[in-house]
Amino acid sequence: MTAMTKKAEEAKKSCFTLTVEDSVAVLSLDIPDEPVNTLSPAVGAELEEALRKIEQDAAVKAVVFSSGKKDNFVAGAKIDLISTFRTAEEATEGSRKAQEGFDHLEAFPKPVVAAIHGACLGGGLEWALACTYRIASDSPKTSLGVPEVQLGLIPGAGGTQRLPKLLGAQAALDLILTGKALKPKKALKLGLVDEVVPKPILVEVAKRRAAELAARTLRPERARGLGLRSVGKGKGLGEILKGLANKETWAELALEDNPIGRKILFDQARKQLLKKTRGKYPAPERALEVVKVGMEDGMRAGLAIESKAFGELAVSDVSKRLVEIFFATTALKKENGTSDPKVKPREVRKIGVLGGGLMGGGIAYVTAAQMGVPVRIKEKDDASAARALKHVHGLFDERVKRKSITWRERDAKMALVTVGNDTSGFKGCELVIEAVFEDLKLKQNIIRDIEKVVRQDCIFASNTSSLPITRLAEASSRPETVIGMHYFSPVNKMPLLEIIRHKGTADWVTATCVEVGRKQGKTVIVVNDGVGFYTSRILAPYMNEAGHLLAEGADIAELDRALVDFGFPVGPITLLDEVGIDVAAKVGKIMHEAFGERLSGPDHVEKLVADGRLGRKSKKGFYSYDGKKKGVDESVYALLPHGKDRVKLDRQEMAERCVIQFVNEAIRCLGEGVLRSPRDGDIGAVFGLGFPPFLGGPFRYADALGAAKLLERAEHFQKKHGKRFESPPLLVEVAKAGKRFHA
Ligand SMILES: NC(=O)c1ccc[n+]([C@@H]2O[C@H](COP(=O)([O-])OP(=O)(O)OC[C@H]3O[C@@H](n4cnc5c(N)ncnc54)[C@H](O)[C@@H]3O)[C@@H](O)[C@H]2O)c1
């Protein structure tokens, strides 16, 4: 390479571009060949160098930071870096370096304005916090937050110190402990940004503010937790008084400004936190401690403990598992669900939904709300059609109530949803999703009927939760267009979509449905066909085991607690009440027929159904309900073996038995080729069934425990409880070879 081309190459690879106009330098970050900006030591070094030049240039009076990416400011630190830390000390050192960089920025002798458009997250927000002034675009693409806890970390570049200083402890803790992101309006209200302006004028306004700051005609005086109060020219007094008149803010400040108040605040926050994390997620607990040190002993002490805690968390198992999940979902987003990466999805401009009940309504909602395409629902009669429309409207209304959308936005989206009691409006659909009752004959008839109406290449997807797609495809005159799209309830909240292809499903059909699912906001896994596919199949032996435990005399609440303590969001018996005991009985029967004795459930389930105990929907199940779930309905014990005389069973053993059934069935699915990879199995279990994320999924769990140990425990239970604990051949193979499921 000649010196010239080398220089040109280097210039091209530079992350920052610097332009100076009217004494204001605009430093724009645009990392070459990357879809988003992320922070790394290399970017940090370039930033230091750029700042050094700007500092020395007497003609430059102020600086604006902006991004050269379309809809992204800085998405955070480069996450790959976290996996490269071998020790806590290395990670602590990394954090310390980043802190130093931002300390330098904060102390920079010329004013610095952050012009924020798009995601401003993690290290990106910590960067902006070290600036003198922050302006955000009003775009829906703009969001600000510190999501580190979601990766088992805490902000490690000063965020735990600067956020409480700027916002007050309560608002800062709300952001740091939950990792949630704020939209521009809310960020302005809290004082996280100083101004919100339309995107087209963002950099222009930022330049103007930078010049005003340099000329001292703008002097931001921030009352902590009250946002910006004084924008030059004496403008802020009225606002200050308005802010101070707010009783809540006063109470908040009074609380955190004296040692007793602070103790109450942090004790309360810790209590609330432990209720949620049950001690399984160390990051938010450490964050709380770090914020407290900063507030009590000052910024220096706070930064020191921040980097120490960051270092320890970065090499913890919990963080490793959460980072692995992050990478797995990122990788899934780039795949088309087939073995041929060249297969392209076809465009879907309209979707038909057959059956607008609980699931169909939810599917129509995510289609309109997230994907933004027209959706036509067919119900069996007018009354059901009206109910379906009301259901979808209700889902939008919830968001209006939460102020996440305006009523205008709701109405615009609702205009995409139409209903009818016949197939009119289905002709133009590229995809029809069926969500009628779980009945093979009904679903097969529906395929035959709809194929007479829709175009030849229309995809037919079924939301069945257990029926093999191969059996549905038998009714189709074009089986290559038949596929499963298994959504989870409630569809508007549950993040997973399990796509099931049968042997004849065309690749373009799979790729198209994967793309649709993604546009509906889902994390999508693709599995091969089989009874119960993947998720329903691994849930069956888990629920059965809970049933067997009840039959042995386990106490209902104790059993639920055992699995919640393990890390599931709810226990199996609560889940049974939610799903519907009748539905579980039906699916259980299908599983038993398909897989024999290994998946046979306890006998008492039929008795419960016969008693009219269908769970929450019938206000009668294992628990009692009057809208809300109350305690165990003691009368249910009369229908269970041992009646009211419950037997004390070891909680840990109860959890272990259920979890081994779950994990072993997942391994069986991988061995039989239902699953394409352990990664998909982990994501399906975590996002679809609530398997504890801090354990990373059934395959990560098996790897952490060791296949040999898992095998030993399964054999132990097999001796006690028989065939249902028989280990899958793949587990035996992996254990014998001393291997792991993940490479
Ligand atoms: N409920 C869940 O948690 C869940 C989860 C995943 C998948 N599923 C599956 O989704 C499907 C629907 O379940 P759901 O819970 O929404 O049931 P649901 O009873 O709430 O809804 C079914 C709807 O289909 C309508 N319907 C029946 N026959 C019809 C026809 N011929 N034409 C048009 N509409 C018709 C009914 O009027 C009803 O509104 C089932 O296959 C179920 O196994 C359910």
pLDDT at 233 over 50: no
Q: Which atom of ligand 1 is nearest to the CA of 359?
A: 16
| 72: nearest Cα among 126, 139, 135 | 139
| Alpha carbon distance 192, 175 (integer Å) | 11
Q: How many helices (H) and strands (E) does the chain have?
A: 31, 22
Residue 229 confidence (pLDDT): 43
Nearest alpha-carbon partner for 498 in 676, 235, 238: 676
How much distance in Å is there from the Cα of 712 to the middle of ligand 1?
42
The whole-angstrom distance between residue 269's C-alpha and the CA centroid of its chain comes to: 23
Let me know: does 1 contact 30? Beta carbons within 8 Å: no
- pTM value is 0.90
In this structure, are residues 571 and 664 in contact, taking their beta carbons and an 8 Å threshold? Answer: no
Write out pLDDT tens, residues 495-553: 999 999 999 999 999 999 999 999 999 999 999 999 999 999 999 999 999 999 999 99
* Residues facing 625 on adjacent strands: 629
**C-alpha triplet 400, 378, 498: angle, nearest 5°:** 70
The residue among 82, 89, 33, 43 whose CA lies nearest residue 65 is: 43
User: Closest Cα to atom 2, ligand 1: which residue?
Assistant: 489
Query: What pLDDT band is residue 224 in, cutting at 50, 70 and 90?
Result: low
Tell me the backbone φ, ψ of residue 114, rounded to 5 degrees.
-95, 125
Mean pLDDT computed over 670-674:
98
d(CA 21, CA 33): 27
Place of tokens 């703008």: 218
**Which residues contact residue 458 at a Cβ distance below 8 angstroms, ignoring those fewer than 6 apart?**
429, 430, 431, 432, 481
Please identify which residue in the block is written with the tokens 């802190």: 99
> pLDDT category, 628, cuts 50, 70, 90?
confident
Q: Which of 285, 498, 558, 665 is catalytic?
A: 498
Give pLDDT, residue 236. Answer: 40
Residue-wise pLDDT tens digits, 297-324: 999 999 999 999 999 999 999 999 999 9
360 CA to middle of ligand 1, Å?
7
If phi over 0 gives left and psi between -120 and 50 gives alpha, with beta otherwise, what is residue 89? alpha
Write the burial class of residue 650 (CB in 10 Å: 0-12 exposed, 13-18 middle, 19+ buried): exposed
Q: Which atom of ligand 1 is found nearest the CA of 442?
A: 31
How many Å apart are CA 70 and CA 545, to the nearest integer? 51
Q: What is the structure's pLDDT at 263?
A: 84
**Residue 696, φ and ψ in degrees, nearest 5:** 80, 0
Residue 542 CB coordination number (10 Å): 25
Structural domains in the chain, CATH included, are 14-315 (3.90.226.10), 351-529 (3.40.50.720), 536-736 (1.10.1040.50)
Cα separation of 439 and 437, whole Å? 6
pLDDT of res. 5:
47
Instruction: Report which ligand 1 atom has the smallest distance to the Cα of 354.
Output: 33
Model confidence at 467: pLDDT above 60: yes
| 3-state class (DSSP) for residue 476 | coil
Q: Give pLDDT, residue 627.
A: 74
Q: Indicate the top mutation candidate among 365, 366, 463 to test ligand 1's pocket, ranked by most ligand atoms within 8 A of CB.
A: 463
Cα→Cα distances 738→659, 703, 707, 741, Å: 22, 10, 7, 10
pLDDT at 630: 82
Other Cβ atoms within 10 Å of 598 Cβ, number = 19
Q: Which residues does residue 65 pair with via DSSP β-bridges, in sequence order? A: 27, 114
CA of 376 relative to ligand 1 center, distance in Å: 16
Q: What does DSSP assign to residue 65? A: E
Average pLDDT value for residue range 2-29: 76
The pLDDT-based confidence of 235 (bands split at 50, 70, 90) is: very low
Q: Residue 498 catalytic?
A: yes
Which tens digit of pLDDT belongs to each residue from 165-193?
Answer: 999 988 999 999 999 999 999 999 999 99
Cα gap 688→684, rounded to integer Å: 5
For position 238, what pLDDT does the model report? 44
Task: Give the max Cα distance, the chain.
Answer: 87
CA–centroid distance, 622 to ligand 1, in Å, is 24
Strands 181-182 and 143-145, by their bridges, are antiparallel
Ligand 1 centroid to Cα of residue 356, in Å, is 7
| Alpha-carbon separation of residue 69 from 12, 49, 99, 119, 124 (angstroms) | 16, 21, 25, 10, 13
Residue 237: φ, ψ to 5°: -60, -45
Confidence class of residue 259 from pLDDT cuts 50, 70 and 90?
confident
Atom of ligand 1 nearest to the CA of 381: 37
State the alpha helices, DSSP H only, in 154-281.
Answer: 159-167, 169-178, 184-190, 202-215, 237-244, 247-256, 259-277
Q: Which whole number is the average pLDDT over 463-473?
A: 95
Out of 353, 358, 444, 689, give the residue to mutate to test ligand 1, the one with the largest number of ligand atoms within 8 Å of its CB.
Answer: 358
Laid out side by side, the sheet with 195-197 consists of 16-21, 24-29, 62-67, 112-116, 133-137, 195-197
pLDDT of residue 231: 41
Ligand 1 pocket at CB < 6 A = 354-360, 378-380, 384, 435-438, 446, 463-465, 487-489, 579
Average pLDDT over residues 119-146: 97
pLDDT for the residue 704: 97
DSSP strand E in 379-522: where? Answer: 417-420, 431-434, 459-462, 482-487, 496-501
- pLDDT at position 623 over 80: yes
**Average pLDDT, integer, range 699-715:** 98
pLDDT at 12 over 90: no
Mutation to probe ligand 1, out of 354, 424, 436 (largest number of atoms < 8 A from CB):
436
What's the rounded Cα separation, in Å, for the pair 126 and 133? Answer: 13
- DSSP 8-state class, residue 371: I
Q: Compute how many other C-beta atoms are within 10 angstroms of the C-beta atom of residue 493.
A: 10
Q: What is the SS3 assignment for 524-582?
A: EEEEECCCCCCHHHHHHHHHHHHHHHHHCCCCHHHHHHHHHHHCCCCCHHHHHHHHCHH
Q: For position 245, what pLDDT does the model report?
A: 47
Cα(617)–Cα(639) distance, rounded to whole angstroms? 19
Average pLDDT over residues 334-361: 97
| Residue 447 CA, ligand 1 centroid: distance in Å | 15
Q: Is 740 exposed, middle or buried (0-12, 13-18, 19+ CB in 10 A)?
A: middle
